[in-house]
Amino acid sequence: MATAITQPDAQPIERENYLNKHYGVWSWLLTTDHKRIALLYLMSITFFFFIGGFFALLIRLELLTPTGDLVQADTYNKLFTQHGQVMVFFFLIPSIPAVLGNFLVPMMVGAKDLAFPRINLLSWYLYIIGGIMMLHCMLTGGVDTGWTFYVPFSTAFSNTKVIEAGLAIFVVGFSSILTGLNFIVTIHRMRAPGMTWGRLPLFIWAHYATSVIQILGTPVIAITLVLVVAERALHLGIFDPKLGGDPLLFQHLFWFYSHPAVYIMILPSMGVVTEIIACFSRKRIFGYHFVALSSIAIAVFGFLVWAHHMFVAGISIYAALVFSILSYAVAVPSAVKVFNWTATLYKGSIHYDAPMLYAFGFLGLFTIGGLTGLFLACLGVDMHVHDTYFVIAHFHYIMVGGAVMGYLGGMHFWWPKISGKLYPEGWARLAALIVFIGFNLTFFPQFLLGYMGMPRRYFQYPAEFQVLNVLSTAGATVLGVGYLLPMIYFLWSMRYGKPAPDNPWNAAGLEWKTASPPPTFNFDEEPVVTWEAYNYDELDSEHKQEVPVVG
């Protein structure tokens, strides 16, 4: 067994952990260990992230000039469609839940594994099957309907591979449902003794809320895609106005899932940020119960607002009024979170480590994204900016500035636990800075472009928009570098990084009370919880002698 260890500067005795317990491809492909499945997901979603990023790069390159010189309209339509589909369904939705959530949920509640380990593995295989279908679809012609599959274009007119893309997303949707189901059962049924609901980390509350959306929202898009596929294949008339159908019905069903899906992306990220802010300001979270319940409130309100995507599509103005008011309501629980994070930071002893830099980035960018969302919820303003780059900028501030920032922050925060190695802190801070600058340079100009009236989804534009578009493309390049850096130094650290102590951040939470990397069943003995979450005051007074606080 010892001969299989490939480390050059191997420590004398390596503790047995989930990484070195078994070797070989099959020990990974047939594993039911939630931590290994998390790593399988990590590799898969990273792969799709770079595919989606590649499409984004091509889009930005094309938009460098006002005319279509890199690609023409047909190709451009496929580029933005597949950028959206890959990023939404194959990266953002699984990102934090399937990687960090998979890894951490059982550990944070003090369980040996998720409730249904084999279903967890099945969920990864469904993801892979969906992913292969999507790749096949892209390589054999692609699809050009926009990620939204709007009918009747997708069912009656587009001559691209709508059916295959629809089925790929159908399959990957079930992977998401199974993840959510596993989390809910685990959080309800597998908590360690003493781990009451009021002691759960807010990461868990966030994942609970996310899972509710996954299990109740995802089936609706699944059936919607079934209808689209059936209509396209058999020429039914359910969505076709020519045959008596209503295209708006498609939009209702589609957004019933796809609006809450935004909260599938952002809620876990909020959970990550909560953990990071508490740890690096060494304080209890201000208003624990409000933050916990605001996650649930976001999940519920998220289902009440979907038609704000359809204000100009021809829905009844009375319905538009109702949905506009309801959309404002979502801002309340989101604001509760932002204010509570800010209050937690107040008079905290703040450490500017890389995860915290990402959390700060999240705070600012999410606030901008959220507030511009209110502009869009406002009927009058939406008429003006609907389907412009203003919308693009808004949701990228939420999904990239919010969700991806949180994802990267979480990856840095828990990397020592996941890999057992420390990443290079200097590089990580630099990368956080580059991502923040690159992001704002990419997307802030798009607010201006949108407000000036540049519509989304066109491969060419009037020459007066060029300066801002060049800025945006330049930003995208910087952002790309910012995303490549962590991948490089994470990989580097797996081989050359310093071994991580069990609790490098002196953080609260059960996951830090076990080894880094953890043993296969997470804890050597079943933990019993007798403390509240985020007891940093107690932790710091305990450790005052051992770990001097570095200024």
Closest to 259 (Cα-Cα) out of 73, 54, 399: 399
**Which is nearer to other proteins, 49 or 303 (by Cβ)?**
303
Task: Report the distance separating Cα 452 and Cα 542, nearest Å.
Answer: 57
- Asked whether position 252 contacts other proteins by CB under 8 A, the answer is yes
CA distances from 483 to 344, 360, 396, 479, 536 (A): 29, 17, 15, 6, 31
Binders of other proteins among residues 277 to 316 (CB under 8 A) are: 303-304, 306-307, 315-316
Nearest distance from residue 220's CB to other proteins, in Å? 5
Q: Which of 50, 116, 290, 375 binds other proteins (CB under 8 A)?
A: 116
Cβ 88 to other proteins, closest distance in Å? 19
- Which residue from 115, 163, 264, 515 is in contact with other proteins, where contact means CB under 8 A? 115
Of the residues 226, 312, 332, 463, which one makes contact with other proteins according to CB under 8 A: 226
DSSP for 166-209, written as a single string:
HHHHHHHHHHHHHHHHHHHHHHHH-PPTT--GGGS-HHHHHHHH
Amino acid at 189: R
Q: Which is nearer to other proteins, 77 or 224 (CB)?
A: 224
Between 181 and 434, name the residue whose CB sits nearer to other proteins. 181
Q: Which long-range contacts (CB under 8 A, 24 or more apart) does 446-450 make?
A: 446/389, 446/390, 446/392, 446/393, 446/396, 446/472, 447/372, 447/389, 447/390, 447/393, 447/394, 449/388, 449/389, 449/390, 449/393, 450/385, 450/388, 450/389, 450/390, 450/391, 450/392, 450/393
Backbone conformation region of residue 508, classed left if phi is above 0, alpha if psi is from -120 to 50, else beta = beta
Among 146, 237, 287, 364, binds other proteins (CB under 8 A): 237
Quote the least distance from Cβ 386 to other proteins, whole Å. Answer: 17
**Residue 319 lies near other proteins (rule: CB under 8 A):** yes
Quote the least distance from Cβ 393 to other proteins, whole Å: 28
Instruction: List the one residue from 322, 343, 430, 487 that touches other proteins (CB under 8 A).
Output: 322
Find the part of the chain contacting other proteins (CB under 8 A) among 66-74, 81-89, 115-123, 161-169: 115-123
Short-list 355, 177, 376, 206, CA closest to 294 = 206
What is the contact mask toward other proteins in residues 73 to 112, using x (rule: CB under 8 A)? --------------------------------------xx
Q: Which is nearer to other proteins, 82 or 224 (CB)?
A: 224
Give the Cα separation of 114 and 542 in Å (integer): 32
Task: Please state, in angstroms and rounded to a whole number, the distance separating the CA atoms of residues 154 and 388.
Answer: 21
Among 51, 133, 163, 181, contact with other proteins (rule: CB under 8 A): 181
Among candidate residues 295, 391, 390, 287, the one with its CA nearest the CA of residue 340 = 287
3-state secondary structure 382-450: HHHHCCEHHHHHHHHHHHHHHHHHHHHHHHHHHHHHHHCECCCHHHHHHHHHHHHHHHHHHHHHHHHHH
Q: Does 188 bind other proteins (CB under 8 A)?
A: yes
Q: Which of residues 512-541 bind other proteins (CB under 8 A)?
A: 521, 526
Per CB under 8 A, contacts with other proteins among 193-222 are 212, 215-220, 222
How many chain residues bind other proteins (CB under 8 A)?
A: 57
Using CB under 8 A as the binding rule, whether residue 483 contacts other proteins is answered as no
Near other proteins by CB under 8 A: residue from 15, 189, 289, 495: 189
Q: Which stretch binds other proteins (CB under 8 A): 72-80, 91-99, 177-185, 446-454?
A: 177-185
Alpha-carbon distance of 491 to 496, in angstroms, equals: 9
User: What are the tokens at 230?
Assistant: 């059936």
Please select the residue that binds other proteins; options are 234, 380, 545, 550, rule is CB under 8 A.
Answer: 234
Q: Which is nearer to other proteins, 303 or 534 (CB)?
A: 303
Tell me: does residue 492 bind other proteins (CB under 8 A). no
Choose which of 12, 244, 380, 551 interacts with other proteins (CB under 8 A): 244
Residue 46's alpha-carbon distances to 65, 92, 135, 434, in angstroms, are 30, 10, 14, 19
Cis ω for the linkage preceding 462 (within 30 of 0):
no
* CA 152 – CA 158 distance, rounded (Å): 9
Site string for other proteins, 422-461 (x = CB under 8 A): ----------------------------------------
* Distance, CA of 522 to CA of 518 (rounded, Å): 5
Q: Which is nearer to other proteins, 235 or 543 (CB)?
A: 235
Positions that interact with other proteins (CB under 8 A): 111-117, 119, 177, 181-182, 184-185, 188-190, 212, 215-220, 222-224, 226-227, 230-231, 234-238, 243-246, 248-249, 252-253, 256, 303-304, 306-307, 315-319, 322-323, 521, 526
